[in-house]
């Protein structure tokens, strides 16, 4: 049995964490455009170094064109990056970041990145790299406004893909957990229904038979009436105790669960209800292990249901119950003889699920169960259960 873990359970339905601060979308869309128009365009109109040409007015126009193009970078990232190749460094950097973040690595991105690097090298004299400071000035713009935005954009794109994959995995895990819970609930409902059927069918059938005997008891024989009422009370208390255990109101201890040791009492109850029952218990031989608790419980329930069916369909027959612990497993046989006479009392109601429940018990333990008429005209239930379960 798995032990409870000290670690807190992971909530698969919790949303994945996002950025700690996220501005409204209109602000994120138009902020670069506003910054370029309000700050860089006036600077480009006064300083020829702010642009690819030596004319401040041309540079200011190109800077304004690039700023306006940035407003469409979310819908048309490739076209925006192409348009900003003729603009200043900042619009080009923002456009490259947007293209890499939305499209990821692809041939078009590589081509535009190469053109952007050439564009950022254009204002410089490529022959003047004799000193470290000159070399640093040469690679400064391609690195800061080209390589860094591309790297940041690719990182953001990869993060978005990772978050999307994790969200899908989170959804699939949640659905799988819900399906597993539904299957477990259905299996538990079926188990409880099978247990309720066995308890109610056997105990209530015996109570009904004893009540019928009490009806025909002589009025001048109070001892017989008291005995019958006492049996009804005992059977009712047993049924109530087992039902409470099944519903979790009062869970019985493991040593109190029905087992092979309770078969003599079960058979005696059927005898008191008027059924001629014989019981034979054999084994286990020396060296063989005793059947496990789950096997004994299933065997008890199978014999109980077989006797209940005999009460319902063959109350005048003789029933032989044989239980043998053999090397190949626990063998159960419940055989009733032909009734020989027609029934005079009404049949007890039957839900028609008893045989299916017995087969399910055997199948759940890896055993087998066969039920059907005998050549002599009676009915037999034969089952083989493993001595232990995994």
Residue 20: its pLDDT value, please?
53
Residue 51: its pLDDT value, please?
67
Residue 17: its pLDDT value, please?
52
Residue 45: its pLDDT value, please?
80
Predicted structure pTM score: 0.46
Residue 192: its pLDDT value, please?
73
Query: How confident is the chain (390 residues) per 10-residue block, as mean pLDDT?
Result: 44 50 72 80 76 77 84 85 82 87 85 83 56 61 82 90 90 89 82 72 70 64 72 73 60 62 88 87 80 88 88 86 90 87 50 75 89 90 86
Cβ proximity of 266 and 300 under 8 Å: yes
Query: Tokens representing 10?
Result: 């992971």
Residue 324: its pLDDT value, please?
92
């Amino acid at each position: 049995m798995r032990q409870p873990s000290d670690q807190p359970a992971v909530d698969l339905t919790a949303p994945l964490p996002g950025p700690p601060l996220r501005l409204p979308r209109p602000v994120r869309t138009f902020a670069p455009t506003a910054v370029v128009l309000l700050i860089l365009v006036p600077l480009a109109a006064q300083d020829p170094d702010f642009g690819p040409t030596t004319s401040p007015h041309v540079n200011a126009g190109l800077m304004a064109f690039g700023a306006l193009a940035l407003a469409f970078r979310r819908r048309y990232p490739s076209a925006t990056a192409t348009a900003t190749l003729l603009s200043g460094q900042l619009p080009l950097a923002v456009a490259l970041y947007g293209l890499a973040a939305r499209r990821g690595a692809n041939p078009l991105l590589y081509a535009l990145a190469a053109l952007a690097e050439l564009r950022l090298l254009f204002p410089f004299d490529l022959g003047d790299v004799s000193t470290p400071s000159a070399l640093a000035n040469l690679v400064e713009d391609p690195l800061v406004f080209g390589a860094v935005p591309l790297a940041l954009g690719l990182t953001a794109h990869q993060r978005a893909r990772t978050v999307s994959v994790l969200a899908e995995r989170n959804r699939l895990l949640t659905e799988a957990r819900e399906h597993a819970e539904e299957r477990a609930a259905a299996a538990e409902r079926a188990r409880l229904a099978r247990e309720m059927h066995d308890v109610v069918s056997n105990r209530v059938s015996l109570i009904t038979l004893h009540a019928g005997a009490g009806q025909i008891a002589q009025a001048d024989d109070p001892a017989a009436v008291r005995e019958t009422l006492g049996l009804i009370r005992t059977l009712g208390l047993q049924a109530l105790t087992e039902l409470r255990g099944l519903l979790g109101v009062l869970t019985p201890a493991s040593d109190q669960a029905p087992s092979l040791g309770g078969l003599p009492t079960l058979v005696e109850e059927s005898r008191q209800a008027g059924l001629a029952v014989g019981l034979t218990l054999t084994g286990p031989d020396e060296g063989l292990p005793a059947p496990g608790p789950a096997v004994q419980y299933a065997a008890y329930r199978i014999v109980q249901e077989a006797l209940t069916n005999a009460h319902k369909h063959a109350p005048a027959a003789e029933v032989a119950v044989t239980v043998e612990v053999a090397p190949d497993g626990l063998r159960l046989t419940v055989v009733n003889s032909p009734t020989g006479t027609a029934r005079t009392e009404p049949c007890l109601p039957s839900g028609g699920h008893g045989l299916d429940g017995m087969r399910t018990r055997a199948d759940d333990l890896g055993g087998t169960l066969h039920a059907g008429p005998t050549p002599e005209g009676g009915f037999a239930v034969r089952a083989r259960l493993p001595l232990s379960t995994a």
